[in-house]
Amino acid sequence: LYGAVAGYAGGVVDTVMMRLLDTFLSVPRVLLLIAVLALWSPVPLAGLILLIGLTGWFDIARIVRTQAMALRDREYVVAARSLGARPFAIVWRHVLPNVLAPVIVAAMLAVGNVIVLEAGLSFLGIGVREPTASWGTMFQDAANQFVSSWWAVIFPGAAIVATVLAFNTVGDALRDLLDPRQLPAHPGSEFQEPAHG
């Protein structure tokens, strides 16, 4: 919604909102999370999920903003505006539904980053705490016994790699599926007329 409002409004509103977003992006996400979690320790699981979510929407907002800028001059948006529809109603009913495809793809690809981020925080001891299961804490326990039980590191590491690879593969497939450039220019143009005679 943030990116859609900025992209549709344009002008000063877009400039102010995007400069604010650039300010958030200038702070490395990992360092911000480490600082917050170190001060707020031990953090409950719900709090960890909330913090990761609150720091993970900036890139998606940029994608939505770009798509909204391309949509604000489309015929159906101009028609709604000329009929007196309010800007927020136009964004909610006409802009947001048409930017869902790239958002879904970006969100799916971001899941892999979140998994690695959570595992890293848990490995450092500031993420998920025992007895709650986490690949990061499993990796930490196995690393402490690496000399005597080196194989114990393989399983959580392989699980992280396989899961991230699976989400990235699904995200790439969705991008190819939802990309309008992959669709035929005219319905039925992919079929050829049978030759006569």
- Give the distance between the most distant pair of CA atoms in the chain: 81
Residue 141 lies in a domain: yes
- pLDDT digit string, tens, across residues 6-20: 877 778 888 888 888
Whole-number pLDDT of residue 162:
92
Inform me whether the pLDDT recorded for 195 exceeds 50. no
Whole-number pLDDT of residue 180:
53
- Nearest Cα residue to 89 out of 101, 98, 99, 77: 77
Residue 196 lies in a domain: no
Residue 186 lies in a domain: no
Which residue segment(s) compose the domain that 109 sits in?
Answer: 2-181
Inform me whether the pLDDT recorded for 39 exceeds 70. yes
Inform me whether the pLDDT recorded for 189 exceeds 60. no
Are the C-beta atoms of residues 30 and 123 closer than 8 Å to each other? no
**How many domains are there within the chain?**
1
- pLDDT digit string, tens, across residues 84-133: 778 788 788 878 888 877 888 888 888 888 888 888 888 888 877 777 77
Residue 27 lies in a domain: yes
* Overall pTM > 0.85: no
Residue 194 lies in a domain: no
Q: What is the CATH number of the domain that holds 49?
A: 1.10.3720.10
Distance (Å, whole) CA 61 – CA 13: 15
